[in-house]
Structure 1
Amino acid sequence: MTSVLRPARSDELETLSALCLRSKAYWGYDAAFMTACREELTLRDTKGVIVIEGDIEGGTGPLGLAQVLVTDDIADLELLYVHPDAIGQGLGRRLFDWCMAEARAQGATKLHIEADPHAAAFYEAMGAVEVGRAPSGSIPGRFLPRLIRPL
């Protein structure tokens, strides 16, 4: 599959937000859960967002996206989502590698990740280590794996 990484554009925020929701729904969450996540998965700007684009659904478009934001020596992986039709094709790894390179370039020494429980094994395969739990930003009483990946 041919794909390219490029910065997100402000005119595609709605499309990218829909991709995040579609990717999250891949894990079988019910409608109420997805409604609760909508606000948190709605992109408001393109700061730190990279898109992986390629052939999808009869055309070319976003196959995934990631967002990394750096403060001092800490990078936060805010988003990493892959279109359900493209999961398992190495795009998540490419996005994660970009996030690590971008974080290093901005002076970060570690990457913080609050992962969906279904994604924790992926991040561990990328070298991250679970260090605790973090409260969900969408679902009261739900906790997410908190991981750190040294850079």
Structure 2
Amino acid sequence: MNTIVSALPKDTNVLASLEIRSESYWGYSSDFMDRFKEIYLITEEFILNNPTYILKDDETIIGFYGILLNDDEVSLEYLFIEPMYIGKGYGKMLWNHALEECKKLGIKEFTIITSPDAREFYLRLGATIFTQVDSLISQGNKTPKLIYRL
């Protein structure tokens, strides 16, 4: 039975581990992954201050997402799936939950800075390319910044 529940600060380490496994799925180098861990790992502070949800099947964590709420712009900061569940519809399940959460919060649009590997997933779900931004991981490279309007 799949359920989506609010993340708690005590979930931080298990979600960070899932995040690393999910990002590693795309075959990035160890240098890339070391930099990724320094910059992008979810924190207790993020979970305390932003809507963050976990998709579970009984007690097995399948994936999670987090929406960064700030004054400048709202962004889908995290959406990660355990590698063995990628491509089975769980990402879309979390996406749909995130859209409902945005509607409840009165959010009209949000941005997504994503890897080129995940870009197509978001485009299929209705996000559009907004711009390119400098990669925080790969100096001199650009990464897609998408926008989704509800």
What TM-score results when the alignment is normalised by the length of structure 2?
0.89
Residue 100 of structure 1 aligns with which residue? 99
Q: Which runs of 5+ in 1 are unaligned?
A: none
Residue 56 of structure 2 aligns with which residue? 53
Letter in 1 for 2:5: R
Q: Quote how far apart the aligned CAs of 1:75 are.
A: 2.5
Letter in 2 for 1:20: E
Q: Tell me: CA distance 1:74–1:102, structure 2 relative to 1, closer, same or farther (3 Å).
A: farther
User: Which structure: greater strand fraction?
Assistant: 1
Q: Residues 52-100 of structure 1, C-alpha deviation per residue, up to 9 Å, x if partnerless? A: 0126xxxx32110100123469431001000001111111001111111
Alignment of 1:1-150 (within 5 A): 2-45=1-44, 46=47, 47-54=50-57, 60-71=59-70, 74-150=73-149
Letter in 2 for 1:100: L
Aligned residues: CA RMSD: 1.7
C-alpha distance in 2, partners of 1:137/1:62? 28
C-alpha distance in 2, partners of 1:101/1:75? 15
Aligned positions, number = 146
Aligned partners of 1:20 and 1:41 also within 8 Å: no
Q: Quote how far apart the aligned CAs of 1:42 are.
A: 1.8
Q: Tell me: CA distance 1:125–1:116, structure 2 relative to 1, closer, same or farther (3 Å).
A: same
Q: Tell me: CA distance 1:73–1:109, structure 2 relative to 1, closer, same or farther (3 Å).
A: farther
Residue aligned with 2:91, SS: helix
Q: Quote how far apart the aligned CAs of 1:140 are.
A: 2.4
Q: Which runs of 5+ in 2 are unaligned?
A: none
The share of aligned pairs that are identical, in percent, is 28
What TM-score results when the alignment is normalised by the length of structure 1?
0.89
